[in-house]
């Protein structure tokens, strides 16, 4: 059982994560944005995050779409993503290399292909930040499009 209602039985990481309920919303040792939102029994979405409309997910979708990125298709859904899968390394203008996310945290995000292009947009969010990046195959040549405080 999970705090958000997600069925983890088919997940390839289920033996590695230690479980959502068992870790009180810290499946890989770090917090989960979904558990933080929906783990509270008074939350309208408790135990049903992926089965019903969720205010957090809806708000993040609105925020991503409001960015007005011209060649990005409309965002219609977000997925639970482990930080290790979305924590790409970016090179800043001064040459410094940086990562923004915690590898063990669970975020909400999605991958959306660019219109008329072979690159994709990677969308990731937590309670405080939105990140849209652009990258090639397997996350290569990652570039920040938008990184902002929510």
The pLDDT tens digits of the residues spanning 53-97 come to 577 888 999 999 999 998 999 999 998 899 999 999 998 889 999
Q: Residue 62: is it exposed, middle or buried by C-beta count within 10 angstroms (0-12/13-18/19+)?
A: exposed
Of 24, 44, 48, 54, the residue nearest 36 (C-alpha) = 24
pLDDT score at 150: 93
Q: Residue 35: is it exposed, middle or buried by C-beta count within 10 angstroms (0-12/13-18/19+)?
A: buried
Of 113, 89, 93, 92, the residue nearest 103 (C-alpha) = 89
- Determine the Cα–Cα distance for residues 100 and 116; give it in Å rounded to an integer: 28
For the chain, the domains span 54-149
pLDDT score at 50: 53
Contacts of 61 (CB under 8 A, 6+ apart): 75, 76, 77, 78
Give the pLDDT confidence of 96-116 residue by residue, as tens digits: 999 999 999 989 999 998 888
CB atoms within 10 A of CB 121: 22
Q: 0.85 exceeded by the pTM?
A: no
- Tokens found for residue 14: 């289920």
């Amino acid at each position: 059982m999970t705090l958000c209602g997600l069925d983890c039985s088919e997940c390839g990481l289920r033996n590695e994560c230690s479980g959502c309920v068992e870790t009180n919303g810290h499946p890989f040792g770090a917090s989960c944005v979904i558990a933080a939102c929906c783990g509270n029994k008074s939350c309208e979405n408790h135990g049903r995050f992926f089965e019903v409309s969720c205010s957090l997910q809806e708000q993040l979708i609105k925020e991503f779409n409001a960015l007005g990125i011209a060649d990005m298709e409309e965002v219609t859904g977000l997925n639970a993503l482990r930080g290790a899968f979305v924590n790409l390394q970016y090179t800043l203008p001064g040459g410094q290399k940086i990562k923004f996310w915690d590898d063990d945290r669970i975020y909400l995000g999605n991958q959306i292909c660019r219109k008329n292009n072979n690159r994709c947009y990677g969308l990731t969010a937590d309670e405080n930040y939105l990140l849209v990046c652009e990258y090639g195959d397997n996350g290569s040549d990652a570039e920040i499009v938008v990184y902002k405080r929510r």
